[in-house]
Every structure is written in C-alpha cells, then in structure tokens.
Amino acid sequence: MMTEIATPSALSSPQRRCQTLLMLSLPGQEITHQYISNVNHVDDDTARLDIADINDELQRYHRLTIATQDDGCYRIEGTPLDQRLCLLHWLRRALRLCPAFISHHYTPALKTQLKQAGIARTLYDDTNLQALINRCARGLHRQFECRDLHFLRLFLQYCLLQHHHGLTPSFSAVQQNWTEARIEHQVAEEIVRHWQRRIHQLPHEDEHRFLTLLFMMLRTPDPVHDGHLHDRRLQLAISRLIERFQGMAGREFSDEQGLRDQLYIHLSQALNRSIFSIGIDNSLPEEIHHLYPRLMRTTRIALHDFEEDFGIRFTDEESGLVAVIFGAWLMQESELHEKQVLLLTGDNPYLESELERQLRELTLLPINIKNQTIGDFQTEGAPKGVALVVTPYAVTLPLFSPPLIHARDLLSEHQRQQICKMLEA
C-alpha cells in the first residue's frame, strides 16, 4: 500500500485526477475513496467526484471503466492494451503536473511491487534501464529529453510487472502489421533480448509489439529527416490527399510543401490513434460541422482514399482536425481575415436558421455570422467590420449600410455568386 502524503498541499483538479489514476493503475493496491481523499487532501465528496470525472474520461478516450469491488475498492477494467495506453498518457501528464507524487509515492510503490513479485533487480534497476534506453535511442537516432527518460524508466518497470502477472496486451492483425513494419520494432528487440536473458518465461511476441508501439507514441514526426519506407508511403499519400482536396475546392495552395509538412506531423500521430482506438477531445467536430459544413464535407470526401490506403476510418474528431488544418491554409493563402456577415432577424427563427445554413454552405472559408434585430439595424446601423448584410425580411436601409441581400426563401444562383464574390474577395 502506498503511504499517505505527510504534509497537506493544495492540488488542482487535474493534479488530483492524475494522482488518483496512478493510484488505481498499480496491481496489489487497495484503493478506496477514503484513501484517495486522504492522499489528495480532499473531502469524500470531492474524491468521489474526481473518480466520476476520471471514469468519464476513461470511457470516452480509452474504452476503460472504473469498477467498484464488493469490498469498496476501485479497479480499472478493460483490456491490457487499453490500460497500458491509458497509463502512457496519464503518466506523462503526471510527470508534468505532480512530479512530487511520482517521486515520493508512485515510484516507491512500483518498485515495492516489483520486489514482492520476485523479479530480478537487474531488470528494473534505474542504471540498467537507463543504459538500455540509451541503446534504443541510438538505434532510433533520437535523443530523449529528461522527462521522457524518466517516463520510460517508470513505464518499462510497469510493463515488466504487468508481464509478470500475465497481463500481456493483444493486437489485432492490423495492429500487428502496423507495428512490425516500423523501424521501432527492430529497436524494441534490444529490450526483449534483455528480458529474455533474465526471465524464465520468455516475453510474448505481443510484448515486443507493445514496446514498439511505446517508442512510436513517443516519436516526434520530422517531415524533413524521416525516410523510413513507412514515412515515404505516408508522404506520398498526403500528396495525393492535397491534390484531391485542391481539385474539390477549386483552389491551389502556393506553399504546398508547408501544408504537406504540417499534415505529415499531424497524420503520423492521427494514424496511430486511429489504429489503436485512442480517443481525442470530441467537442470540436460538432462546432466545425455547424460553422464550416462545406469545409468539413470536402475534407471528409478527400480523406476517403487516404483512409482506404491505410485501412482505417477516421472518427469525426480526427477528420475535424484535418479540416481545421485545410481551413487555416485556405485563409493563409488568400491572406483573408474571417469575413463578418450580419443576419437580420425578426419573427421567423426557422427561416433565419435556414438562411444561415445556406450562407455557411457557400464557401470553404470561415465566416463570422452575427445576428441583429431589424429594429436595432434601422436605428443603429450595422456593427463595425460587417462586410455583408443578409435577411429574409423586407427592410428599409439606414443611410449608411454595407451591401444587403434580401432572400425571402432560398438564395438564388445569382445571389449565391454575389455572396461568394464578396466573401472570398
């Protein structure tokens, strides 16, 4: 059992959640809400609320749940692969947010569990692990930062403990092929050989694959220097993706290389997330669908062949982030600022909503649509910066006004052309 913190400290909600998740991640720990409240120095209600928040996040992003046992203790339930990927994310976060907890509680508890399991000390000794990680870094031509080195030492100890308890991750055929085709697979063999020399039960092949994935998740893609076969395949696929988007948008990017580099960095990581079902913040797509429906739809269609190439299907969250990248480059290419459109409102909200939808469908470029009542418009005029006024109602113009388009129902083709010209000029 981990010892309690001796001196109280004021912890933020993210710090408390990190510490709670780490308490729950180790086997052999009896973690109740009372224990969590004591360690985090909060009342029972706050501890329960933190657990509920963590459970929501685990379900949303990691396909895990926190279950309450008959004795009142909590336990994280889910596949060993999902549990390891979850800890990978939270342990890296905890090293930033609560390093003292890592040093004084998580690390000693982890090493105690390794010792009690009878695992040879040479396997989890910090000096030996550091030397092993350094050999892997040389094989990958990388230099790990201090925080990543600290993370790797801890995480390899955790993997060793999980393997000892028979909690080996399982990989689908697609996931197996994905890891085995990477350069990290060759480097992970260093760790496998190290373990094989000291463990009677040989590491499962899936342990080799997971160690490969571990180094993949720590990799920062470099569009200039990455030259592995997998990297070149991705770069070619991105070139085809840009070409399809340009054809559908009717626009070309003058700095295509800059766009290609940004997409390479993003999609390298997005592919890993998609293949291993790692979730991301899901608040973005709904907003993008509403504000930029044509941009989102164009991106989704352009991504289809890319997804076919890699045998995946991006979630709306992932495709939404790609849409944001394309939208930002469209704005940059045109040196445009977001155009402001004023929608005059009256007594028919449905008609106003339909007109707003039509406006957003007209262009791939972002537009800022503001509402103003007809009465305020006629007495105060349009706010500063408005490029265009649109309304479904007959209205008398004030003395000075931006161009106004009156659409009783659907926008006519001529009106659509006029609006596009003003918004994209």
Does position 400 have pLDDT exceeding 80, yes or no? no
Does position 238 have pLDDT exceeding 70, yes or no? yes
Nearest to 29 by CA among 48, 3, 57, 50: 3
Does position 163 have pLDDT exceeding 70, yes or no? yes
Alpha carbon separation from 278 to 86, 154, 307 (Å, rounded): 9, 21, 17
Name which CATH class applies to 118-219.
Answer: mainly alpha
229-333 and 118-219 share a CATH fold: yes
pLDDT score at 203: 53
Q: What is the pLDDT of residues 24-69, one digit of tens each?
A: 998 778 899 899 999 999 999 999 999 999 999 999 999 999 999 9
CATH of domain 229-333: 1.10.1790.10
Instruction: Write down the mean pLDDT value for the chain.
Output: 89
pLDDT score at 333: 63
- Confidence label for 280 from pLDDT (cuts 50, 70 and 90): confident
CA–CA distance, 325 with 292 (Å, rounded to integer): 13
Write down the domain spans for the chain: 118-219, 229-333, 340-424
Q: What is the pLDDT of residues 342-394, one digit of tens each?
A: 999 999 999 999 999 999 888 887 788 999 999 999 888 888 889 899 999 98
Lowest pLDDT segment from 196-200, 313-317, 326-330, 402-406: 196-200
Name which CATH class applies to 340-424.
Answer: alpha beta
Does position 1 have pLDDT exceeding 60, yes or no? no
Does position 5 have pLDDT exceeding 50, yes or no? no
With pLDDT > 90 as the criterion, what percentage of the chain qualifies? Answer: 59
pLDDT score at 200: 52
Does position 257 have pLDDT exceeding 70, yes or no? yes
By DSSP bridging, strand 386-391 and strand 404-406 are parallel
Q: What is the pLDDT of residues 78-102, one digit of tens each?
A: 999 999 999 999 999 999 999 999 9
- Confidence label for 420 from pLDDT (cuts 50, 70 and 90): confident
By DSSP bridging, strand 367-373 and strand 404-406 are unpaired
Nearest to 323 by CA among 291, 279, 281: 291
Does position 198 have pLDDT exceeding 70, yes or no? no
pLDDT score at 8: 47
In this structure, how many other beta carbons lie within 10 angstroms of the beta carbon of residue 271? 21
Q: What is the pLDDT of residues 284-343, one digit of tens each?
A: 667 777 788 899 999 999 999 999 999 999 998 999 999 999 988 887 765 556 788 999
Structure tokens at 173: 């055929």
pLDDT score at 264: 98
Contact residues for 86 (Cβ-Cβ < 8 A; gap 6+): 21, 58, 61, 62, 64, 76, 78
| Residue that has been written with the tokens 């109602």 in this structure | 393
Contact residues for 3 (Cβ-Cβ < 8 A; gap 6+): 105, 108
| Residue that has been written with the tokens 């086997």 in this structure | 27
Bigger pLDDT: 275 vs 191: 275
pLDDT score at 285: 64
Does position 271 have pLDDT exceeding 70, yes or no? yes
pLDDT score at 425: 67
pLDDT, mean of residues 160-183: 91
CA–CA distance, 161 with 405 (Å, rounded to integer): 68
Does position 282 have pLDDT exceeding 70, yes or no? no
pLDDT score at 2: 53
